[in-house]
């Protein structure tokens, strides 16, 4: 797999630039400014552009032309940013990607509308790239939007519930995070002209890598550092989120350890000054290792599903992407 490393890096660098420029143009010069400026501010703050790159990689994997999918690539990133803007309101988040969130910089009505307009522009961009495949592509896109809402609702509901099983958690992140990543692969595969089998394989890759990605996100939220993350460390504990780490810790802990975890539920979160002691508890309970194993499990499932892809280089690229995600710090 190492042999494609340089080529893969070039691919990422080159395509990310194209996607970034597409995204800039998507919101620039639109009127009224009061609507589009906040969205522009948010989009321009960066991001890995993982989802557009997955669209493009999937186009490549089925032998399609990248040129036909840049609008769709921008569309999935616009949709993703919509979810971030609205989630940040709901989660009371102050910071994201090292900038102040929209609802804090402006106000909640502005952030609600900015999010809504991102959805609408996402559909506009997606429609540009689907001649003849509109129904299929738009259906996949819409399905993922439905699931994202369902997942976010489950996530909020879990904050208030005492007992949440790890299975329920996996279903929640499958909807909240993995569905959109799965859709990126499906969208690229359809627009690229892939066969039904190829679309399904890529969908599976997206779904499983998406689950791995979210568990990694949970992990980074507490073991990462603020500069890399671009947001405060330990936010999930502060908000009382039922992350993989928390649920796993709750599952295996006893006595005063368990009581300490139950307090997070009871108090609907913790104060920032207690993050360190919870981090130590997680460490002692070995849940960081458990999370890493879970990430590896879903990553392997993802890689297994694309073993049959014809294009060896693309398989290599997907493997490198998976590797990148596991080793990321933000």
What residues make contact with a copy of itself under the rule CB under 8 A?
Answer: 31-32, 34-35, 86, 89-90, 108-110, 112-113, 115-117, 119-121, 123-124, 127, 130-131, 134-135, 138-139, 142-143, 145-146, 149-150, 152-154, 156-157
Least separation, in Å, of the C-beta of 114 and a copy of itself? Answer: 9
* Nearer residue to a copy of itself within complex by CB, 114 or 265: 114
* Nearer residue to a copy of itself within complex by CB, 99 or 112: 112
Residue with tokens 């295996």: 252
* Nearer residue to a copy of itself within complex by CB, 109 or 255: 109
Close Cβ partners of 78 (under 8 Å, ≥ 6 residues apart): 23, 26, 43, 118, 119, 121, 122, 125
* Nearer residue to a copy of itself within complex by CB, 149 or 324: 149
Give yes or no for a contact between 199 and 190, defined as CB atoms under 8 angstroms apart.
Answer: yes
* Nearer residue to a copy of itself within complex by CB, 18 or 112: 112
What tokens were used for 102? 């929209």
Least separation, in Å, of the C-beta of 127 and a copy of itself? Answer: 5
Give yes or no for a contact between 250 and 166, defined as CB atoms under 8 angstroms apart.
Answer: no
Least separation, in Å, of the C-beta of 239 and a copy of itself? Answer: 12
5-27 vs 33-43: helix crossing angle, rounded to 10: 170
Give the DSSP H or E segment for 215: helix 196-223
Least separation, in Å, of the C-beta of 237 and a copy of itself? Answer: 19
End-to-end alpha carbon distance in the chain = 24
Least separation, in Å, of the C-beta of 1 and a copy of itself? Answer: 38
CA 210 to chain centre: 7
* Nearer residue to a copy of itself within complex by CB, 176 or 315: 176
Least separation, in Å, of the C-beta of 162 and a copy of itself? Answer: 15
For residues 265 and 279, what is the distance between their CA atoms, to the nearest angstrom?
A: 16
């Amino acid at each position: 797999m190492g042999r494609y490393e340089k080529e893969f890096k070039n691919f990422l660098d080159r395509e990310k630039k194209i996607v970034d420029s597409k995204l800039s143009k998507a919101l620039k010069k639109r009127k009224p400014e009061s609507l589009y400026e906040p969205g522009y501010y948010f989009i321009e703050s960066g991001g890995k552009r993982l989802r557009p790159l997955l669209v493009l990689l999937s186009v490549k994997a089925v032998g399609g032309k990248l040129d036909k999918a840049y609008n769709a690539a921008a569309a999935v990133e616009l949709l993703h940013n919509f979810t971030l803007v609205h989630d940040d309101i709901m989660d009371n988040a102050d910071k994201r990607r090292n900038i102040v969130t929209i609802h804090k910089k402006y106000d909640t009505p502005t952030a609600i509308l900015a999010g809504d307009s991102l959805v609408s522009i996402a559909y506009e961009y997606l429609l540009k790239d689907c001649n003849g495949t509109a129904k299929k592509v738009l259906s996949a896109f819409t399905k993922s939007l439905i699931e994202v809402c369902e997942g976010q609702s489950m996530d909020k509901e879990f904050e208030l519930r005492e007992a949440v099983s790890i299975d329920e958690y996996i279903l929640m992140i499958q909807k909240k995070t993995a569905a959109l990543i799965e859709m990126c692969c499906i969208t690229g595969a359809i627009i690229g002209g892939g066969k039904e089998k190829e679309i399904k394989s890529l969908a599976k890759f997206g779904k499983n890598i998406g689950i791995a990605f979210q568990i990694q996100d949970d992990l980074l939220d507490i073991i990462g550092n603020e500069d890399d993350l671009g947001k405060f460390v330990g936010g999930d504990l502060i908000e009382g989120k039922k992350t993989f780490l928390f649920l796993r810790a709750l599952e295996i802990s006893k006595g005063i350890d368990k009581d300490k975890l139950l307090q997070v539920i009871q108090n609907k979160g913790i104060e920032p000054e207690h993050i360190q002691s919870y981090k130590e508890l997680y460490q002692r309970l070995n849940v960081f290792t458990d999370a890493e194993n879970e990430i590896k499990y879903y990553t392997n499932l993802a890689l297994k599903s694309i073993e049959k892809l014809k294009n060896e280089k693309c398989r290599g690229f997907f493997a490198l992407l998976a590797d990148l995600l596991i080793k990321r710090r933000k």
